[in-house]
Amino acid sequence: MSDPSDAVLRAEGLVKRYGSVTAIDGADFDLRRGEVLAVIGDNGAGKSSLIKVLCGATIPDEGTVWLDGQEVRFHSPLDARKAGIETVYQSLAVAPAMDIAGNLFLGRERRRKDLFGTLFRTLDRRGMRQEAQRQLDALGVATVQNIGQLVETLSGGQRQAVAVARAAMFASKLAIMDEPTAALGVRESSMVLDLIRRIRDSGLPVVLISHNMPHVFEIADRIHVHRLGKRVAVVKPDDYAMNEVVSLMTGALRLTESGELVDQKAELNHRPAE
């Protein structure tokens, strides 16, 4: 079954159970062209579980996923990567003892060829460094001085910039970032947010999971609100106040089909006695 919508990535009716825990409870999702879509929700709402399905790390019990209109069934993160989806995980996903170029090409090392096009076993370090520098320049990662610098000598923000740049380099369809600014200070966060904005502007849509509402309101084109294992609302940051979106997240407010906010508690209190 193909997907008639124009979404880059779409999912419908996802379910994932772990024993008696239902981590994903009938969740829908859609990511559109050219956007940063923020995914927000309380701790335990099921954000990471949802993202794991979309990046191939978890196989759902139920539901369908479409990439560019075609149904996909990922059985591993490698499947999703081959399909053009790169993920930056919550933990800083870099190899500290390697240099920046090495990190950018980790798992995708280039090897040298001889005149006949036969592959040498030796790594094409010069080629990788040049390409790494070109990509970092293109993404405007000016903070990194030397591509041969060991990642363990970089600041947290610079490391995260390397992880984010790596995703942007290799993703052909979209990049998913799980809390990329969680461990960072104010200045470093804004550097990573700028980078995400440039990635979006270069044409690669981004899914951003974040707890930080100011960051979400600063950068998201749309906000997917996740609660109790499912999507309960999608809003544009310009249309609602931050405290209203937080109330959607906690369940104090509910969004109607026509986009009105309804007080859940008042609704319960005013229910006529049976």
Ligand X SMILES: Nc1ncnc2c1ncn2[C@@H]1O[C@H](COP(=O)(O)OP(=O)(O)O)[C@@H](O)[C@H]1O
197 versus 211: smaller Cβ distance to ligand X: 211
Which of these segments, 9-17, 41-49, 97-105, 169-177, binds Mg ion (CB under 5 A)? 41-49
Length of the chain: 274
Closest distance between ligand X and the C-beta of residue 43, in Å? 5
48 versus 189: smaller Cβ distance to ligand X: 48
Q: Which residue is nearest to Mg ion (CB)?
A: 48
41 interface partner picked from Mg ion, ligand X, none, CB below 5 to 8 A per type: ligand X
Per the CB < 8 A criterion, the answer to whether 100 and 162 are in contact is yes
Of 8, 27, 48, 169, which one interacts with Mg ion (CB under 5 A)? 48
| CA–CA separation, 97 and 103 (whole Å) | 9
Closest distance between ligand X and the C-beta of residue 41, in Å? 5
Please give the span between the terminal C-alpha atoms of the chain, in angstroms, as a whole number.
Answer: 45
166 versus 230: smaller Cβ distance to ligand X: 230
Residue with the two structure tokens 């019990």:
61
| CA–CA separation, 110 and 142 (whole Å) | 24
Closest distance between ligand X and the C-beta of residue 229, in Å? 7
Q: Return the CA Rg of the chain.
A: 21
Per CB under 5 A, 210 contacts Mg ion: no
5 versus 91: smaller Cβ distance to Mg ion: 91
Measured between alpha carbons, how far is residue 253 from residues 45, 72, 111, 180 in Å? 16, 34, 56, 28
30 versus 179: smaller Cβ distance to ligand X: 179
Closest distance between Mg ion and the C-beta of residue 82, in Å? 25
| CA–CA separation, 223 and 242 (whole Å) | 11
